Amino acid sequence: MASTSHVVETSGLTKRFGERTAVRDVELHVPSGVAFGFLGPNGAGKTTLIRMLLGLTSASAGEMRLLGKPVPEERATALKKVGAIVEEPRFHGHLTGRENLRCAAAARGHETYARIQPSLERVGLAARADDRVKGYSLGMRQRLGIARCLLSEPTLLILDEPMNGLDPAGILEMRGLIRAFVDEGRTVFLSSHLLEEVERTCDQVAIIDRGQVVTQGAIADLTQGEQALLTIGVDDEAAARRVLGSNGVVAAVADGDEGTLRVTLAGDGNRRTAAAKINRALVEAGVAVHLLEPSRVSLEDRFLEITSRLGDEQ
């Protein structure tokens, strides 16, 4: 199972709590040097899998490797180059941000102390480093958690819901940090249920539902969709629906964003030819068309399609 090009690998990974199976036969492959989104509804098994990877809970079955090292056999060696935040980062509220990092450095070795100031600067907390953490916002605590991770100069960062509860400015800051880490050659494994942010931040993604990974790969590949879609803007939606409903190149019509229609094309025909036929039919019926463009399937569309299909099967 070992591969030099993957920083996280699992095979048949399973976790049971009594009669309940929280994670089932997971095959996961996270390539190095990317932002990798780990998506799933609440309770899907995301945090349980992360805890197994970090050795915080044992697996019931299967194999896993971090940075090429088998876990739990070589857990200590692997974790030397892994920084992780599981759920919300915890700190001593009566201590300052700098003092909290000094506590963490004490457990890692004397050379770690020299990384405290650069880590604080890296996450934008240098100016507040000597304030008590109990006065920090959630976004500041998240950034302090990342600063603590950076003390070990990690190759892999594992972040569990790092954007949860952040305001728009905090989300933007977190997104910028993650992309900067990837630009430096690190790998960021990002667990989240915020689909839009994962799509904006990550290069690849795996979707887990009911403890099973149901798909994984590059976001660009997952969002291509199986059918061609068009977004159409018209002056009379009711009339447009009547025209489109009787057009042979149209498979379905749904509401789009901002008063548009979202049209699914039938068959495997040429999208440009189909769009021309639709435009001509609408104009001939007296419907003015002010927008007609290809519509990309979003990660949210694919997520809902995949998880809904899995639920139907079970």
Domain with CATH 3.40.50.300 in the chain: 6-218
The answer on pLDDT for 310 being more than 70 is: no
Dig out the tokens for 180 from the structure: 């900067």
Diameter over CA atoms, the chain: 78
pLDDT digits (tens, 9 = 90+) for 214-223: 889 888 777 6
The contacts of residue 185 (CB under 8 Å, 6+ apart) are: 33
Question: Other C-beta atoms within 10 Å of 98: how many?
Answer: 19
Give the pLDDT band (50/70/90) at residue 314.
very low
CATH classification (class only), 229-296: alpha beta
Give the pLDDT band (50/70/90) at residue 194.
confident
Tell me which amino acid residue 125 is: L
The answer on pLDDT for 1 being more than 70 is: no
pLDDT digits (tens, 9 = 90+) for 41-52: 888 899 999 999
Q: In terms of Cα–Cα distance, which of 33, 37, 28 is closest to 197? A: 37
Please check whether residue 219 is in contact with residue 202, taking contact to mean a CB–CB distance below 8 angstroms. yes
Domain with CATH 3.30.70.100 in the chain: 229-296
Please check whether residue 168 is in contact with residue 15, taking contact to mean a CB–CB distance below 8 angstroms. no
Q: What is the pLDDT of residue 165?
A: 80
Name the average pLDDT for the chain.
88
Domain 6-218 CATH assignment equals 1.10.10.10? no
- Sequence-ordered strand ranges (E) for 58-165: 61-66, 69-70, 82-85, 156-160
The contacts of residue 55 (CB under 8 Å, 6+ apart) are: 71, 72, 75, 79
